[in-house]
Structure 1
Amino acid sequence: MYQYEWAEDDFVLPYGVVRLDLPQPDSGKTYVMYHGTTKKAAKSILAQGFRQSSEGMLGRGVYLSRDLVKASRYPIGHPDHDKVVIRVKVNVGRVIAINSQRHPLRLTWHDSGFDTAWVPPNCGMVKSGLEENCVWDPKRIQIMATIEPRQVQHGCGCSARGYM
């Protein structure tokens, strides 16, 4: 039986990019983020760039996460062997935290001058409890690379130490 795992080998942060250790993206900073999609959609994104989704939990925009685990789940219910995660660099611009379905700017944050809406982890908006970002302008997003899951074999009958 085969399963898949996601990894980034030998990843080095580009100059000026901030690591994930900040609880909220700071306005004006640049972050590495991830977008999970199908292989077919990834080819289109690589050829033509990102486009805003017409709808979603935060309205129009490009949905990303600084959490590779979160992005690797998408599209939800799609088989791992046909998934790709696109690693990007994002200048988040002006950021607003949207921490509730009842937030008054949940769908209209961009109309109030924000460039990125951020859903904090464990705020109840996302079942997984992982953070999510919605970036209004695809021009703020620079594609860096794609990440595909690695196939790993489980259930070979081997013990934990590799002996039979």
Structure 2
Amino acid sequence: MADARGPEAVPDDVLEFGARAATPAAAVQDKDVIILSIPFHRVPELAGLLASAPGETVVIDTSNYYHPHLNGHIDAVDNGRVESLWIAEQLGRPVVKAWNAALAGTQQTKGVPAGTPGRIAIPVAADSNEARRVAMHLVDDTGFDPFDAGPLADSWRQQPGAPAYCT
């Protein structure tokens, strides 16, 4: 777990399940998966950092564009560019979109074992079938049914105000 302010800024409750605090540079080295959970408009700041991660590393973006009151205007997205495609372009690498269609409170309290009746589904979109498979496995591990939401271009369906957002 990394925080731009340094490892000491990572809250203790985040580490209680076995995560370790690290610098951002250490957090992306030799990792199979990197999960980005930062404000949407800040994701492009990570392009240089993620360039140092192995090319086969799966990068999962959990952000949403709540324009403009939280993020300011991002012209490309305001003009119809799919948010996840914009993120991939900014980072210069493929991404998976997951966990963005359920609120944090839902994710903290509603995860249940596979097979539990009424288990909530989380959509997962990616252009790589392998990256989507990895992310879907992780969604299942967090207590939610992974739903194959198709390619990244279709991830608009799981963004705020769209059909799969918080439903």
TM bucket, shorter chain: under 0.3
Higher-strand-fraction structure: 1
Please, what TM-score do these two structures have when normalized by structure 1?
0.24
Please, what TM-score do these two structures have when normalized by structure 2?
0.24
Structure with larger Rg: 1
Q: Which of 1 and 2 has higher RCO (CA within 8 Å, sep 6+)?
A: 1
Higher-helix-fraction structure: 2
